[in-house]
Amino acid sequence: MADFDRRTALKGGLTVSAVGLLGTTTFSAAAVAAPGASEPKIHDTAAWGARPPNGAIEVQNHKPTYIVVHHTVDPGNVTDYTLEHAYWASRSIQNFHMDTRGWVDSGQQFTNSRGGHITEGRHRSLEILRGGTQHVLGANVGNNNSTCIGIENEGLYSKEDVTPALWDSLVKMVAYIASQYGISPEFIKGHRDFNSTECPGTVLYDRLPELRTAVGSLLGSASPKADLPEWPLLKPGDTGPRVRTAQELLRARGFAVPVDGLFGQSTKDAVTALAARNGLERDLCGATAATDEAGFLGSDVWPLIMRPGTDTRALKAQLAG
Ligand SMILES: [Zn+2]
């Protein structure tokens, strides 16, 4: 959403100079990182030849709450695992975000290649992460950028799994971020936990409990609590009892959809209209492809169609079962 970023760029212009000094003075906080979560090799924007941003980078005076895992979709699941390719991919993402999306810079704070090379995304993200007290406002999780720090993982993981190298660097990077900000592993999320999107792909999404456990063991923290149920993601073409439940709730909200358990055109139109009416930010991800996710019904739509007074946990459990 270009308008979103232009607004934040303007706001950033007012605040970034005030926090610039703080950013440097807190730099030494990296030295207090917990044992076992040392900084992995992170290639900064200068290393991969980033363009300068089109506007001010907004640095917020609070830590992020969530670490969010994404997939990039493009350039697909390449087999070029070199550092040179990771640099190329970083430039390609930045070009797409600045030239096509109209954002000030790369949307994500960090990028992880299929060869396991980690690069800085949005300028200043590495410096601020080392400080451990502030947050570079990105553009990768619609309506939630103030609380989320995002890692774009190169590839498409709807059906295929990530490479072992990508997985290893993801574990190390997430552990380092969690350590710097004191984030508990249960706050490691997938993009679809916030927005109605396929990202980070069902295969990678289903490995998030494993990621939380791996990060927890690197940090030496207790085993993460049992995962709370998340809202399911329903897509046009889906069938079954969860679609039927969604249709019942949409009807109760005044949408003339059938209650037949088939996610057809009228259900898709209803969800699209509801998302627009409520200002849900779609297409706000670091992904480099404009995938058609119109009508997807996920974590930001369920709360809008729940009956007033519904027990959220009970409904989530019903949908999960
Ligand atoms: Zn995403």
Residues 17 and 63 in one domain: yes
Q: How far is the CA of 183 from the centre of ligand 1 (A)?
A: 20
Query: What pLDDT is recorded for position 289?
Result: 58
Residues 207 and 274 in one domain: no
Please state, in angstroms and rounded to a whole number, the distance separating the CA atoms of residues 217 and 224. 9
CATH of the domain at 311: 1.10.101
Residues 250 and 215 in one domain: no
Indicate the DSSP class of residue 234.
B
Query: What pLDDT is recorded for position 97?
Result: 94
- Residue 230 covered by a domain: no
Query: What pLDDT is recorded for position 7?
Result: 37
Please state, in angstroms and rounded to a whole number, the distance separating the CA atoms of residues 226 and 186. 9
- Residue 225 covered by a domain: no
Residues of the chain short of pLDDT 50, as ranges, are 1-34
Q: How far is the CA of 276 from the centre of ligand 1 (A)?
A: 19
Q: How far is the CA of 178 from the centre of ligand 1 (A)?
A: 19
Residues 141 and 194 in one domain: yes
Residues 158 and 262 in one domain: no
Query: What pLDDT is recorded for position 292?
Result: 79
Please state, in angstroms and rounded to a whole number, the distance separating the CA atoms of residues 24 and 22. 5
How many distinct helices (H) and strands (E) make up the chain?
Answer: 10, 8
Q: How far is the CA of 140 from the centre of ligand 1 (A)?
A: 6
Query: What pLDDT is recorded for position 290?
Result: 57
Q: How far is the CA of 252 from the centre of ligand 1 (A)?
A: 31
Please state, in angstroms and rounded to a whole number, the distance separating the CA atoms of residues 127 and 39. 12
Range of the domain at 173: 2-219
State pLDDT tens for residues 47-97: 999 999 999 999 999 999 999 999 999 888 999 999 999 999 999 999 999
Query: What pLDDT is recorded for position 321?
Result: 79
Residues 269 and 124 in one domain: no
Q: Which residues contact 205 (CB under 8 A, 6 or more apart)?
A: 69, 157, 190, 192
Q: How far is the CA of 68 from the centre of ligand 1 (A)?
A: 8
Q: How far is the CA of 80 from the centre of ligand 1 (A)?
A: 22
- The strand order across the sheet containing 66-71 reads 42-43, 118-120, 110-112, 148-153, 66-71, 188-190
Query: What pLDDT is recorded for position 214?
Result: 96
Q: How far is the CA of 321 from the centre of ligand 1 (A)?
A: 26
Q: How far is the CA of 47 from the centre of ligand 1 (A)?
A: 24
Residues 201 and 249 in one domain: no
Residues 201 and 248 in one domain: no
- Hey, what amino acid is at 186? E
Q: How far is the CA of 267 from the centre of ligand 1 (A)?
A: 24
- Residue 232 covered by a domain: no
Within 10 angstroms of residue 223's Cβ, the number of other Cβ atoms is: 10
Q: How far is the CA of 21 from the centre of ligand 1 (A)?
A: 31
Q: How far is the CA of 115 from the centre of ligand 1 (A)?
A: 20
Residues 164 and 252 in one domain: no
Q: How far is the CA of 188 from the centre of ligand 1 (A)?
A: 14
Query: What pLDDT is recorded for position 124?
Result: 98
Q: How far is the CA of 303 from the centre of ligand 1 (A)?
A: 20
Residues 42 and 158 in one domain: yes
State pLDDT tens for residues 7-59: 333 333 333 333 333 333 333 344 444 455 899 999 999 999 999 999 999 99
Please state, in angstroms and rounded to a whole number, the distance separating the CA atoms of residues 213 and 279. 35
Q: How far is the CA of 148 from the centre of ligand 1 (A)?
A: 11
Residues 49 and 162 in one domain: yes
Cβ-contact 125, 110 below 8 angstroms: yes
CATH of the domain at 115: 3.40.80.10
Q: How many structural domains comprise the chain?
A: 2
Q: How far is the CA of 287 from the centre of ligand 1 (A)?
A: 6
- Residue 143 covered by a domain: yes
- Residue 227 covered by a domain: no
Of the candidates 62, 63, 67, the residue with the CA atom closest to the CA atom of residue 214: 67
Q: Which residues surround ligand 1, an ion (CB under 5 A)?
A: 70, 191, 199, 285
Alpha helices, H only, 258-321: 265-277, 302-305, 312-320
Residues 46 and 169 in one domain: yes
How many residues does this entry show for the chain?
321
Exposure class string for 46-74: b at 16+ Cβ within 10 A, else e: eebebeebebbbbbbeebbebbbbbbbbb
Q: How far is the CA of 74 from the centre of ligand 1 (A)?
A: 12
Q: How far is the CA of 309 from the centre of ligand 1 (A)?
A: 31
Q: How far is the CA of 246 from the centre of ligand 1 (A)?
A: 24
Domain boundary among 219, 252, 286: 219
Q: How far is the CA of 157 from the centre of ligand 1 (A)?
A: 11
Q: How far is the CA of 58 from the centre of ligand 1 (A)?
A: 20
